[in-house]
Chains A and B, each alone.
Chain A
Amino acid sequence: MSEAGGTAPAPGATPAGGEFSEDIYLRLNPDVRLAVGAGKFRSGREHYERYGRAEGRPAVLPATLPRDRLLMTGNDALARDTGKAPACALDMIRVSRSGAIFLTGWVNDALDPIDCLELYVSTWCYAFDKQSLARVRRPDTEAALANSGRHNYGFWGFTFTARRLQAGVCSVVVRLKSGLELSLLLNAEPIEDHEMRKLALSHLSRAEYFGNPYFEAVASIEHAIGAQLVDFNKMLSRRAVNEPYVERFGQTLPHYRGSIIVCLYGKVEYMFLQQALFAKQHGIEDYEFIYVSNSAYIAEPLLKEARLCAQIYGLDMTLVILNANAGFGAANNLAAAYANSDRLIIMNPDVFPHGPDWAARHTALLDTLPPARTDLFGAPLYYDDGSLMHGGMYFALDTMPSFASGRKAETSILRVEHYGKGAPPEATGFTTARPVPAVTGAFISTSRAWFERLGGFTTDYVFGHYEDADLCLKSIEAGRPPWLHDIKLWHLEGKGSARRPQHEGGSAVNRWLFTKNWAEMVAQDLLGPHPSRPGLAAP
């Protein structure tokens, strides 16, 4: 059988005394273990009887393996067969409690493309189709294989099964188009659901591509991963808004002119900054605030600051603290349920009044304009340097060809642009009252009835991005375009929350989703700064 002085039985030897050990046979023949796991054979014994004995498969081992010595257990013919399999490795398999599966790896399939990837764990198995795996660049593999060709060796997959899955030892089979297969054994590590979301989205944002990452990231998830991430995220959002902590500060009047809803992400300071600045507003006593925190870890400082704000500024406020990040849409929808008014004002934490009479001017708009102009409207927002940040929004479509797979494929992504971004304050054309394709979610004033009729914010988007444009498009679809009214606010864009890799990954998912949902309607008559749709006005 083997090597220098080895004492093990010869390969293919019939087990002594006719004893056959299932465990030893499967250990010596991992491909048989996989085949048994896949249900192709009832047992290792069956395989041995039907094929193994004739193939000369190893079936016995000495009681104790000699240490520090090589022991040959198979024959050369079998070794040649396995030698045909391409180089492949899995970096990790993670299984979350609620049934999400994430894996990353690489395979040298430049000549013989991967067809599917199968996972076998003791109580479940799952096969990723080639289309369901995102392909990415792996510079480390390129270097190891000394291959300078433009081939995406890397792959990753994500799926949400909505079933409780067991983690543990996982047999992996990588099948190639030629019929070749490769078996690997890996531990599928358990992971908490939120960590799973963070892991998958961060991976998406950090992945490397040969082409433009903005387009390639979207293209890589459009077949399957995008929808799976959205489903998984929605499950987490539903769970996050379940049983929030709610506390009221100040008075509770039977009715307010408006409820200012602010969704907080990680930063406490913007609550007291807003409270301090709005407290100076004429007519602010007609408004209440509803802060909804997507960051459970700031609960304690947030409650402290809310108490301080009530004491120092005396505004009426409800604080809603979620147990996890539900995302912008779900959090705002929940907060709206606590409103004591029929006017919802969605506001970013980094938005502040521009002038002392903002609240009074907002109230005056509601009192004087017809509902068609106030059911959903935004306002001009300004940067700290005085230039315009937002004068309404319009849509553009970007298209990029990709030749990564050797044949032309196009990826199109809807883009949302702000009218007048960076314009000097005296450029009043951007700020005049008019109907616009969309307004930013940094500030949206909407009648509660209209908001509810539109179904509130769509909760499919991950974390936050595009819900504002989505809401506006729903409003246009329902017959009322959003308006822009000239009640100025400051907006320190992007300063009210900390952006991390998972947020970038969420943005890629949202770009894909928003395009999937709205590209057709936008393409009809809503494209560009001067859309042809009747009832909209360009600056």
Chain B
Amino acid sequence: MKVLLVSLYHPELVRGGAQVIAHELFHGLRATPGVEATLLASADQTTPALFKSGARITGFDGRPGEYIFLSRDYDHRWSKTRDVLLVEAFQEFLELMRPDVVHFHHFLTFGIDLLTLTRRVLPAAKIIFTAHEFLTICAAQGHMVRLTDGSLCGRASPLRCHQCLPGDPPEHFFMREMWMKLHLAAVDRFTVPSRFMIEPFVAWGLAREKFVHVTNAVQKRPARPDIAHAGPRNRFGFFGQLIDAKGVHVLFEAVSLLRQSGFTDFTVEINGDNIQFATPERRAGIEAFLAAEAALPPGERNVIFNGSYHPDQLPARMARIDWCVVPSVWWEIFCLVISEAWANGRPVIASAAGGPAERVSHGVDGLLFELADARALAETMRRAATEPELWQRLAAGITPPAGRAAMVEGFLRVYETAHAPARLAAE
């Protein structure tokens, strides 16, 4: 079976969950007998050195089966490229590789219309689309968070989308929906890493029978043994991008509330980057908080900023904390950080929405708090830091996360059972 994985970015060029999963899957499939996997990952002007004159698709660092799609002239409004030669190059690549399965892990930087082109070029191929957020439904970065009031959005409509993005009239969103759906019609199977995602897509009009849940997973790394810790379990850690949706500001607010209440016997370690993608207001708030914290005498600091990290550094960073905090203020589709925390034996304190709410069992393997409620988070942190034996009980309740093999097996099952329309007709 020949499988082509189409990935938004390469994880070694631009960090992000979707590309990590595509890359992990690629390696997992390469190790599977009878499967010939190819990865086509996009690059854009964030890595200008990769753009070779006149080239549209190139190899990647001499690695077998890995290719780079040199995206350009991308129209974010309609999620398509305007570059004719780039689309021709994609078509040539399909004709050259002739995969049995084309698995899109995203369409950003490629174009949603390449789904239709793929169906036209390879009528018998199985086309799989993995949704890593709700970008097909929601033009506001696919987060399905109301920009009007920050609440979670349960239903897109031309008027509601216009309210979030008033620069475009309702008709634009009506067209956008038709545009997205007509290209998604080329897909044989949709996969989602969390089950809760299926309902919004079905409510939006996609066929329920086309959806399959396949968990995200990464290759397991050996965890550091938990050094005997006699004191209170009062060390919290945040791992992820410092962008609005990840909610680090909620954590900072909770820290302030705890201090105001006189509770200061705790630490919070911040691990992450990509603050340049935060909104200017949020970025300014985060930077101001961290600067004020750094200005305190070391003994008075509660928050420590460790900066970016490579996945290989995760066990060491996890070993320095007791609890992993996931304060996301959107649906948070899967949250690989939860898997990482569990792989390292750390219970999770997470917003009660989306993937975390589906994965974390409150009081069994972690704690949930009301989304975006800093006071609720502060109370949860105080409880976590002070309640005797709570950490031990929840750490013992952790079920080790699925490994990469389980994810690969899940996708292989999808590839085998998805029936392309042309084959159905032939049968």
**B-contacting residues of A (Cβ < 8 Å)?**
269, 272-273, 276-277, 279-280, 301, 304-305, 307-308, 311-314, 350, 352, 384-385, 490, 492, 495
Contacts and interface: CB of A to CB of B under 8 A. Distances in A.
Interface stretch (B179-187, B204-212, B281-289): B179-187
B174 A276 contact: no
Contacts of B88: 311
A273 B158 contact: no
Contact of B78 (A269, A280, A311, A490): A269
B405 interface: no
B179 A308 contact: no
B400 interface: no
B117 A280 contact: no
B127 to A, nearest CB: 14
B185 A384 contact: no
A279 B119 CA distance: 13
Nearest to B86: A308
10 closest A-B pairs by CB = A384-B174, A492-B171, A312-B117, A307-B84, A495-B171, A384-B171, A304-B84, A312-B113, A276-B182, A384-B158
Contacts of A312: 87, 113, 116-117, 120
B17 interface: no
B82 A305 contact: yes
18 contacts: A272-B78, A276-B179, A276-B183, A277-B178, A277-B182, A280-B185, A301-B82, A311-B91, A311-B117, A312-B87, A312-B116, A312-B117, A312-B120, A352-B178, A384-B171, A384-B175, A492-B175, A495-B172
Interface of B: 77-78, 80, 82-84, 87-88, 91, 113, 116-117, 120, 158-159, 169-172, 174-175, 178-179, 182-183, 185
A492 B175 CA distance: 9
B170 to A, nearest CB: 6
B174 A492 contact: yes
Given A276-B116, A495-B169, A311 B84 contact: yes
Nearest to A492: B171
Contacts of B91: 311
Contacts of A350: 171
A352 to B, nearest CB: 7
Nearest to B115: A312
Contacts of B185: 280
Nearest to B118: A312
A391 B116 CA distance: 34
A314 B158 CA distance: 29
Contacts of B182: 276-277, 280
B174 A308 contact: no
Nearest to B175: A273
A165 B170 CA distance: 49
A304 B82 contact: yes
A307 B116 CA distance: 15
Contacts of B175: 273, 352, 384, 492
A308 B82 contact: yes
Given A304-B82, A385-B170, 15 more contacts: A269-B78, A273-B78, A273-B175, A273-B178, A273-B179, A276-B183, A304-B84, A308-B113, A312-B113, A350-B171, A384-B171, A384-B175, A385-B158, A492-B171, A495-B172
Contacts of A280: 182, 185
B21 to A, nearest CB: 27
Nearest to A268: B82
B113 A276 contact: yes
A269 B76 CA distance: 12
B267 to A, nearest CB: 52
A311 B113 CA distance: 11
Given A276-B183, A384-B170, A313 B82 contact: no
A314 B116 CA distance: 11
A305 B81 CA distance: 10
Contacts of B158: 384-385
B170 A311 contact: no
A490 B159 CA distance: 17
A460 to B, nearest CB: 31
Contacts of B113: 272, 276, 308, 312
Nearest to B178: A277
Contacts of A385: 158-159, 170
Contacts of B179: 273, 276-277
Contacts of A301: 82
A467 to B, nearest CB: 23
A269 B178 CA distance: 14
Contacts of A308: 82, 84, 87, 113
Nearest to B174: A384
Given A307-B84, A308-B87, A314 B120 contact: yes
Contacts of B117: 311-312
B187 to A, nearest CB: 14
Contacts of B77: 269
B354 to A, nearest CB: 29
A24 to B, nearest CB: 63
Contacts of A490: 174
A114 B116 CA distance: 68
A350 B172 CA distance: 11
Nearest to B173: A384
Among A269, A273, A384, A495, chain B packs the most CB atoms within 10 A around the CB of A384
A280 B88 CA distance: 21
Contacts of B183: 276
B304 to A, nearest CB: 49
Nearest to A311: B87
Nearest to B112: A276
Contacts of A269: 77-78
A492 B169 CA distance: 10
Contacts of A276: 113, 116, 179, 182-183
A168 B176 CA distance: 53
A495 B178 CA distance: 15
B134 to A, nearest CB: 20
Among A276, A301, A307, chain B packs the most CB atoms within 10 A around the CB of A276
A276 B180 CA distance: 10
Contacts of B84: 304, 307-308, 311
Given A276-B179, A276-B183, A308-B87, A313 B116 contact: yes
A280 B174 CA distance: 18
A180 B113 CA distance: 72
B282 to A, nearest CB: 31
Nearest to B113: A312
A397 B182 CA distance: 44
Contacts of A311: 84, 87-88, 91, 117
Contacts of B159: 385
A387 to B, nearest CB: 12
B311 to A, nearest CB: 37
A277 B175 CA distance: 10
B231 to A, nearest CB: 61
A506 to B, nearest CB: 23
Contacts of B80: 272
Nearest to A306: B84
A385 B170 CA distance: 9
Contacts of A277: 178-179, 182
Contacts of A304: 82-84
A274 to B, nearest CB: 10
A115 B266 CA distance: 91
Contacts of B174: 384, 490, 492
A352 B88 CA distance: 27
A336 B113 CA distance: 30
A495 B171 CA distance: 8
Contacts of A384: 158, 170-171, 174-175
A352 B179 CA distance: 11
A305 B84 CA distance: 8
A53 B158 CA distance: 81
A269 B176 CA distance: 11
A272 B169 CA distance: 19
A384 B173 CA distance: 9
A277 B80 CA distance: 15
A343 to B, nearest CB: 25
